Amino acid sequence: MTTVQRSMVAIQRAPLFLWSSFSLEAVALSTYFLRDDFSAALRYYFSIYHLTPLWFVPDAFGLVCLGLFIYRCIIRNRSIIAVLVLLQIFLSLGIGYLFLGNTTALASSFKMMLPVFIGFCFCDAETGSYKKLLVLMAILFYVSIFGVILSAHWKAPWVGYNYEAFGIKRQAGRVWWSGAEQRLSGFSEDNTVVSLFILATFVTTSIRKNIWWCLFFGGVALYALKLTTSKTTLGVLVMYLAALIVVRLLPERLRFPTVRMLAIWSYLAILVPILLILIFGGTSVGSKDLFFSLIDRINNSWQKPFIYLTQLMPIAYVTGCGVGCFNYPQAAFSNLASYWVSVDNFYLTTYLMFGVPFIIFMFMVIRATLLTTDIYKLSLTFVMNIFSITVADYGPASGLLIMSFIFSEVFSRRASSFFQERRGLKPPRRAIAPDGAPAMAGAVPRLNESG
């Protein structure tokens, strides 16, 4: 083989080598996670050093992953659900434009949805194979806790720093109080952001750790969450630790089925707001009461949007009022800002935007969970469904990315084949779960080493 021929072979193999060195979706996820976990610090330094355009680098990756989603889920996997979801998102962007009334809100709504496509690109992923990404998640766990504890003893320069974005004045590090306690946020913009990262990164890191690591650093994480005053995240982490201990005590053969069962049953959390409204609607408590924030959600956050929707756009109960409605594009850029209500629940927020099609999509997602063999997706499903009862997950963008990540199995080859077989579009083929399927138990998953 001549030198020229060897060179041509090397050039042809280069893309394969580069692709095996990193995964686009993993890089895109990393940029969002790094930006959001260090959001206050980055806002501050980008502003004073005139590097603000760097803030939008993750959004550029999100736009690229829109193309990757089309290729991977629609063209390669031939997922009919992926086609319908893509069409529904763009249809809802149009409805949102009509509802919100200006192009700035439309652009903000489109940008808001970009992280969804990154999460969807993990449709066929076995997360344990993304070694570098899991290392980053572990680092973010330690750094997030360090940042919260540090902020209890040191006032960072970004705390209270004001900056302007798209004509809206904001604070890089918000100073919020809960009773007599300041809501510490570490390197992030607010306490909800950093508490989400502590929770999510603990879950992904704990899967490969032994029980003693989980108990020790679980305790440290609980202490850090107490400093953030985020009661929701604190309670969810306690529930996860309890579930983890129970699963670790089970025989090996029962661990994975138990985790999958927990993930599936966690979707019942979707009904919690409805039940709480029926039971406690109209209840009044003092502003310093322990359950004041929950009662406020029951009486205001979860009900008022539907009252306003009845006045503004009754058909939206079926079609949704479009991407961006009752979300920050409406609050910041729409003439309907006076009708904006912070809907502190992911499923209610998303239903308001997409309507009945979202209910149908969730039915397919729950069915796809029965086929999921990725322990990371199942563990995060259990945690995020409970967490999302009182959090909308659209801010920061990483919250929406995690939700789309746990939904991604619905677009996988396995799920697409299953759904087509059920409709007689393909000959039936029995799906068999892999031997040695991992559990929330420190068992090392049987995975490839790429990514």
Mean pLDDT across the chain, nearest whole number?
Answer: 86
Query: pLDDT tens digits for 14-31?
Result: 443 334 446 899 999 999
pLDDT surpassing 90 at residue 157: no
Q: How confident is the model at residue 446 (pLDDT cuts 50, 70, 90)?
A: very low
Query: pLDDT tens digits for 298-328?
Result: 999 999 999 999 999 999 999 999 999 999 9
Which pLDDT belongs to residue 361? 97
What would the mean pLDDT of 338-347 be, rounded to a whole number?
94
pLDDT surpassing 70 at residue 120: yes
pLDDT surpassing 60 at residue 438: no
pLDDT surpassing 90 at residue 83: yes
Which pLDDT belongs to residue 418? 83
Closest CA to 77 of 416, 374, 373: 416
In whole angstroms, give the CA distance from residue 15 to residue 218: 41
pLDDT surpassing 90 at residue 405: yes
What would the mean pLDDT of 399-406 be, rounded to a whole number?
97
User: Which range, of 81-90, 223-232, 255-264, averages the lowest pLDDT?
Assistant: 223-232
Which pLDDT belongs to residue 170? 61
Structure tokens belonging to residue 35: 């930006």
Please measure the distance between the N-terminal and C-terminal CA atoms of the chain and give it in whole angstroms: 32
pLDDT surpassing 90 at residue 35: yes
Which pLDDT belongs to residue 57? 95
- Check residues 151 and 215 and name the one with the higher pLDDT: 215
Query: pLDDT tens digits for 179-211?
Result: 446 778 889 888 889 999 999 999 999 999 999
Q: How confident is the model at residue 78 (pLDDT cuts 50, 70, 90)?
A: very high
Which pLDDT belongs to residue 131? 94
- Check residues 5 and 358 and name the one with the higher pLDDT: 358
Query: pLDDT tens digits for 40-57?
Result: 899 889 988 989 899 999
Asked if residue 328 lies in contact with residue 399, where contact means CB atoms within 8 angstroms, the answer is no
What would the mean pLDDT of 416-443 be, rounded to a whole number?
56
Which pLDDT belongs to residue 6? 53
Query: pLDDT tens digits for 276-287?
Result: 999 988 787 766
pLDDT surpassing 60 at residue 448: no
Which pLDDT belongs to residue 132? 94
pLDDT surpassing 80 at residue 351: yes
pLDDT surpassing 60 at residue 364: yes
pLDDT surpassing 80 at residue 12: no
pLDDT surpassing 50 at residue 435: no
